[in-house]
Amino acid sequence: MMLLDGCFTIELFRKFEMRGLIDVDDPIYQLCLVRNILRRDLLLFENQLPFFILVELFNMTKVESQQDDIVRHILNLVHDGWCSSFAETRRSVENVIVPWTFIDSATELQEAGVEFKMVNRSSIFDINFTNVVVEIPQLRVTDTIESPLRNVVAYEQCLPDAYPKYVCDYIAFMDWLINSSQDVEILRRSGIIQNWIGDDEVVNTMLNKIDKNIMLSVTPFNYSEISNKLNKHCKRRLNVWMANLRRNYLNSPWSLLFFLAAVLLLVLTILQTVFSILSYVSP
């Protein structure tokens, strides 16, 4: 069975790279639906073949020597492809354990004055919080994204605690931000979530379901520093008051005009009171 599956996988990859090998009536490459199903099945955690078997079969069909590979299986290869660029940025802090606590949802953070911004970065996991702005790369949510995420999460959950859990930490952080369809809407309007499945509630349900299978380990949490900064920001009452002021009184030109008029009236009333007191004390 491993030999049969391995030969099929090698031929599949060869034809994908060398399109001249594809027959005109090849059923796999004629229908996009078939390729999507194969892509899903190749990434199922329970379907993984030892990668050295694929390497041996590949070497038997090529002339050049193949360099030794330490990849376990295709899912491991996909995981490394997703996480490699982000892992490089975390090298200096991956062994530092920082205490952290859960963060509020996107709606609650917005009410405390936090803003959300979509940024273009080499890794989708590269999230930052600077000057009350949470910067998050775009997540494209399609009907084919759930299965790869679930299987990569399953793979990370089976790794020893010494290994960083980049995808699990990312899913957990995003699930904390998203507790309702309103949270999804906030992130969608800021460009962080590109919703290709239509309903914001479906996105919320999907992330919640994936996060239920995640147990955060004792390894350093990749977003501990960001979580602590967000919680510190929300604990400052001045930030909450200023956010309420902007939301309730400064959200439109007319509201701003009325607010300034009210402030001016208050100042004039105070001045009148002060002058009245002074004229009474010192006529």
Tens-place pLDDT, residues 75-90: 999 999 999 999 888 8
Going by pLDDT thresholds of 50, 70 and 90, the confidence category of residue 101 is: confident
| Per-residue pLDDT reduced to its tens digit, 24-34 | 777 787 777 78
pLDDT at residue 155 above 90? yes
Going by pLDDT thresholds of 50, 70 and 90, the confidence category of residue 66 is: very low
CA atoms within 13 A on the CB side of 60: 11
The model carries a pTM of 0.76
pLDDT at residue 223 above 60? yes
Residue 195 confidence (pLDDT): 94
Burial class (CB in 10 A: 0-12, 13-18, 19+), 178: buried
| Per-residue pLDDT reduced to its tens digit, 263-275 | 778 888 888 787 7
In the chain, where does DSSP find H-type helix? 2-17, 27-30, 32-42, 51-59, 74-89, 106-111, 146-157, 166-177, 181-189, 200-211, 224-235, 237-249, 253-281
Higher pLDDT, 29 or 180: 180
Across the chain, mean pLDDT equals 84
